[in-house]
Structure 1
Amino acid sequence: MIEAELKARVHSPHETLRKLDERAEGRAEVYQDTYYDTADGALEARDEELRVRTVHGPEETRTVLTYKGARVDEESGSKPEHETRVEDAEAVHATLRGLGYVPAIAFEKRCRNYAFEARGRQMLATLVRVPEVEGTFLELETLAEEKDVASALDDVRIVLAELGIRAEDLTRELYTAAVRARRLGEQPRPPQ
């Protein structure tokens, strides 16, 4: 399955939050993300991602291992995604290091997630703050077959508009690149 997703900078977080609260009950979670790569950066060079995410929520802490393949839609950056829940986060980190992967970057995301149905699709809206990155972001995603990605993205755009997000608010800025640039004291480069 493809994660058909668009991300936008949010200029009125309180208004966006109000509109999301009208659609579904939100849940606050903190993500601890560690991205892995080979020592020579082969995954990044192929536009692939390997991530261990530990999610701290109000009722539980869970960890998921995610592999994302190369983009299938250049405009949105949507990628095939394979994810599985793991029982022992430290064992997964040790396994990846044992296989020769190295932590490329780790950071925290503070999220408020909303799951709802819209336009006949299950959608997940995530209001995001990354402490090391200025601003608030909204990610809206739905899963789609590769042949249905364009239609799914059209539906995502419509729902974003309903939430007050304009086309000019959309961004392909990557959190990993923004955090890396911040730590190096540079301006983040736009995605290629």
Structure 2
Amino acid sequence: MPVEVEVKARIRDRARIEAWLGSRSSGVTSIYDDTYYDFADLRLEHASRADLRLRRITTDGNVRLLWTHKASALADGGVPELETTVGDLESAAGILGALGVTPKIAYTKQCVTYRFPVDGHQVVVTLERIAELPHEYVEVEVMAADADDRTGAWRVVEHVLDAIGVTAQDIDPTCHIALVRAARAAVRAIE
């Protein structure tokens, strides 16, 4: 199973990041509408952040639909991931509902995505903004084909993070789901 090797960090210097990325690739601006699903007993969430997501990506009026499962993280932080395109989001959600899996959280991300090769790996760097969160984020991702490929994938991710000026203090291991939940809880607390 392919393994996602990814680091998410707060953006401190967007201009520096965009300059470096722009010298390697053209950014593609998209809107990601993400809905995460789980069983009533939250067994996926309790399984070390396993995720089941339906995503609608809108780019220049074109829509692409993806169904993604991320398993529990491995010891090195990589996450086994399976992803496929979906022809009809409502039908996919209906199938999940028939299996007892229902939406647990949904949010929208405004994204600019850059894709380019480094040392034989395809790198995906996404600049992300979720309106409910106080920070913008950058995600640097490489899909490793197998366990033997993960070490090289981590080296590539670390190289890109260093090149765009991300430091250890910028890295945020908290998943977007937890960040959005906390932001929504804070708003409810003051209402």
Normalized against structure 1, the TM-score is what? 0.91
Relative to structure 1, the CA distance from residue 73 to residue 57 in structure 2 (aligned partners, 3 Å threshold; closer, same or farther) is farther
In the aligned structure 1, how far is the partner of 2:143 from the partner of 2:71? 14
Kept after mapping to 2: 8 A contact 1:6/1:153: no
Secondary structure of 2:23's aligned partner: helix
1:71-86, aligned counterparts within 5 Å?
71-73=73-75, 77-86=77-86
In structure 1, list runs of 5 or more residues that go unmatched. 187-192
Q: d(CA) in 2 for partners of 1:149 and 1:134? A: 32
How far the C-alpha of 1:148 sits from its partner, in A, is 2.7
Equivalent residue, structure 1, for 2:97? 97
Could you tell me how far 1:2 is from its partner in structure 2? 0.2
Listed as ranges, the matches of 1:1-192 within 5 Å are 1-47=2-48, 48-73=50-75, 77-144=77-144, 145-185=146-186
Residues 121-167 of structure 1: per-residue CA shift (max 9 Å, x gap): 11100011111111111101111112332331122111111112122
CA distance in 1, matches of 2:151, 2:134: 30
1:35-67 per-position Cα deviation (integer Å, ceiling 9, x unaligned)? 000001001111211000000111510110001
For 2:169, what is the secondary structure of its paired residue? helix
CA distance, structure 1, for counterparts of residue 98 and residue 185 of structure 2: 28
1:189 alignment partner in structure 2: none
SS at match of 2:100: coil
Number of residue pairs aligned between Structure 1 and Structure 2: 184
Cα distance in 2 for partners of 1:159, 1:21 equals 13
Alpha-carbon distance between aligned partners in 2 of 1:146 and 1:161, rounded to the nearest angstrom: 24
The Cα of 1:78 is off from its aligned counterpart by 2.5
CA distance in structure 2 between the partners assigned to 1:150 and 1:158 by the alignment: 12
Contact 1:4–1:141 under 8 Å retained in 2:
yes
Q: Structure 2: where are the runs of 5+ without partners?
A: none
TM-score by length of 2: 0.92
Q: How far does residue 13 in structure 1 lie from its aligned partner after superposition?
A: 1.3
* Moved beyond 2 Å, runs of 4+: none
Distance 2:106 2:46 in 1: 18
Partner SS for 1:170: coil
Percent identity of equivalent pairs: 35
- Contact (CA 8 Å) 1:4, 1:78: kept in 2 or not? yes
